[in-house]
Amino acid sequence: MLLLYRGENFNANFFHKSGLDIDHSFLLDEGARKTLLVSGMNEAFARSRFKGRVRVYKDAVKGLSPFIKGRAVEFDASSMSARMANHIRKSCRLKDVSQELLKARSKKTPAEATLVRRAVKETKEIFESLDWKAAKTEEDIHRQLLLMTFERGLEPAFEPIVSSGVGTSFPHYRAQKRKLGPLVLIDYGVRFGHYCADITRCFIRDNDKKKKEQYERLQDICYFISDALPGLDKGKDVAKLAEELVAKAGFPKMPHAIGHGVGLDIHEFPRLGPKSDDRLAGATLAIEPSFYLKKYGMRFEETVWFDGKKVRVL
């Protein structure tokens, strides 16, 4: 039996297994039979949407007890507080399977890839709609990104990264009231149907020849790696290829991985680090070659889907 809990915040594993996002709910997955335990305020919604059994609890732990008492229960320790896990453990034998759940989610169905693709499409359209004439500072661009996201009825997949000038040297910079300079880096993505996009673009506003050439080299690396995925097997294979390409392009070693899996969470399996044995086939991936110097940095990022045979830039 698998037990998943959706508390105050969205739980990707709960949604992946149930197809629903209902706060303060428990999912009991026994393969052929699924049971959803919800609070009274969520009963009507659950019964209208959930295809399995729905039960209402007044006390969460007491409501669970009849279903799990004396049994071996797998659970996601990453989404359940230690306090709740300790209460539940009094009734059953708990086993953490959070890593196994992440691995299972790394392979995307065509339907899931379509949702990621739509999130990417919406994100790129937002980038193309930015009003640079009206923007004076990094915070102005940051505000535009969020406003256009909400106007489209969407949510941010993560807090937008908007940097300018020396701020582009810091990968996870936070937008400030800094006046926009000739180079602006934006890293952002929206959610569509709960699935995330992750896109980074640099805007070279003064057409500096050297920076344009460097940015083109980053794009070449990104697309070369994407095209090479069918010939690679594991995350560490991507990391090795990226390190070789970045060095060959004359850029310093990147302080972060070449990318990561993307899906219901913005960072998922497969991991693309030098020690990663995560398999690539079936994954939607963010590929983000970059370099960071003392005065400025650049990053180019696409989200792609590798179905195991072919690669599609989403």
Summarised one tens digit per residue, pLDDT across range 237-273 is 999 999 999 999 999 999 999 999 999 999 999 999 9
CATH number at residue 24: 3.40.350.10
Residue with the larger pLDDT of the pair 64 and 275: 275
- Positive or negative, the CA dihedral 105, 111, 114, 119 is negative
CATH code for the domain of 237? 3.90.230.10
273-302 average pLDDT score: 97
Query: φ, ψ for residue 231 (rounded to 5)?
Result: -95, 0
The predicted structure's pLDDT at residue 267: 96
Is there a cis peptide before residue 160, judged by omega within 30 degrees of 0?
A: no
| Confidence tier at 188 by pLDDT (50, 70, 90) | very high
Whether residue 141 is found in the same domain as residue 99 = no
124 and 270: one domain? yes
Residue ending a domain, choose from 63, 89, 105: 105
Note the pLDDT of residue 191. 97
Residue 136 has pLDDT above 90, yes or no: yes
Last residue of a domain, one of 105, 120, 141: 105
pLDDT of residue 60: 85
Other beta carbons within 10 Å of 74: 17
**Domain of 189, in residue numbers:** 110-313
Query: How far is Cα of residue 134 from the mean position of the Cα atoms in its chain?
Result: 30
In the prediction, which pLDDT does 81 show? 87
Q: What is the mean pLDDT of residues 23-38?
A: 92
* Boundary-marking domain end, from 36, 71, 105: 105
35 and 158 in a single domain? The answer is: no
Same-domain status, 162 and 125: yes
Mean pLDDT of the chain: 95
| 82 or 224, which is more confident | 224
Distance between CA atoms of residues 164 and 185, nearest Å: 6
Write out pLDDT tens, residues 55-102.
999 988 888 889 899 999 999 998 888 888 888 988 899 999 999 999
Beta strand 93-96 with 290-292 is: unpaired
Domain count, the chain: 2
**235 and 278: one domain?**
yes
Residue 31 confidence (pLDDT)? 85
Same structural domain, 187 and 123 = yes
Give dist(CA 291, CA 123) in Å, integer.
23
Give every CB contact of residue 35 below 8 A, 6+ residues apart in sequence: 27, 28, 52, 53, 54, 55, 67
Residues 6+ apart with CB under 8 A from 44: none
Verdict on whether the full-model pTM lies above 0.85: yes
> Phi and psi (nearest 5°) for 203?
-115, 110
Residue 160, pLDDT score: 97
